[in-house]
Amino acid sequence: MLTRLTRRAEAVARLAVELEPMPQPPLRPTRYPVVFMHGLGALANLMQGGVLHAEAMHLRGRGVQAYAPHVNPYDSVTVRAATWAERLEVVFEETGAEMVNLVGFSSGGLDARLLAREAEWTARIASLVTVSTPHRGSDLASYVLDRPERLRSWAMGIMEFVGRAAYEEALPHPDDALEELTPDAVTARFPPDELIPDAWCASYDSAAGKDTEVPIYAPLIVPNRILYGLAGVNDGIVPTSSMVWGEHLGTLEADHAKQIGLRLAPTTGYDSYAFFEAHAERLRDRGL
């Protein structure tokens, strides 16, 4: 009897205090740094440390030189691309790397594509993988711009207020930002078949909400339904049909908020840490 109790006590104690010989995950660095480029909007203000900061820190814990800088969340692609260039110079200076792997989330993917057109940057980008980027624009931008002047001014005022609060280095320009994201503007400026020479160009699309089995973050329910009526299945911000560019790597079953790890978003099978860790593995497999 005593032996049985002793063994049970040892088993309980082991659950509480047992030490793994090597508890830390193995270091799995990529060849080049990974830089997350966030998109447009107020979601940047709901993340502790900023959009994709936690995911970057998670990758750093695996030995990946990962960065998630910030630019104004309510500015044009042109202005944002110039600011990203400044952020990337810091990465090059800190790491001594010759190239970077870019991950463009939402309109951040368009920022990256614009930046990559400059000769000095083309040769410094090893890969650009976009996540839910509106490569053919978003009808939601057109919808907001087409509202009556009073409603439009109200929406722009909120965006400008949030933009000022989120980013003090430069004033926001929500009108310009939305104009550049309409389908006509994006397709005229960014041909879908235009890739970055000698770089791995790929994309993930996504779908959630109406006409899917994927739950959606409550604040995205209305835009999800509006956008569904305009362009079909979407993730609450971008039509799924707009997201594919380069090599198609798959469809994420997560809304626009969940994709970047917003913890208030509904629980699904998607995990942002696991997703970006798997992306780092893909980069390693490619020697990037």
Confidence of residue 253 (pLDDT cuts 50, 70, 90): very high
Check residue 26 and give its pLDDT.
Answer: 82
Burial 81-107 (b: 16+ CB within 10 A, else e): bbbbeeebeebeeeeebebbbbbbbbb
272 pLDDT exceeds 90?
A: yes
Kindly provide the residue ranges of all beta strands, DSSP E only, lying in the chain, ordered along the sequence: 34-37, 66-67, 100-105, 125-131, 200-206, 247-252
Check residue 154 and give its pLDDT.
Answer: 55
Q: What is the mean pLDDT of residues 113-119?
A: 95
Check residue 170 and give its pLDDT.
Answer: 65
For domain 28-285, which architecture applies? 3-Layer(aba) Sandwich (3.40)
Q: pLDDT tens digits for 210-222?
A: 999 999 988 899 9
Q: What is the mean pLDDT of residues 218-230?
A: 93
Q: pLDDT tens digits for 157-189?
A: 556 556 555 666 666 666 778 889 999 999 999
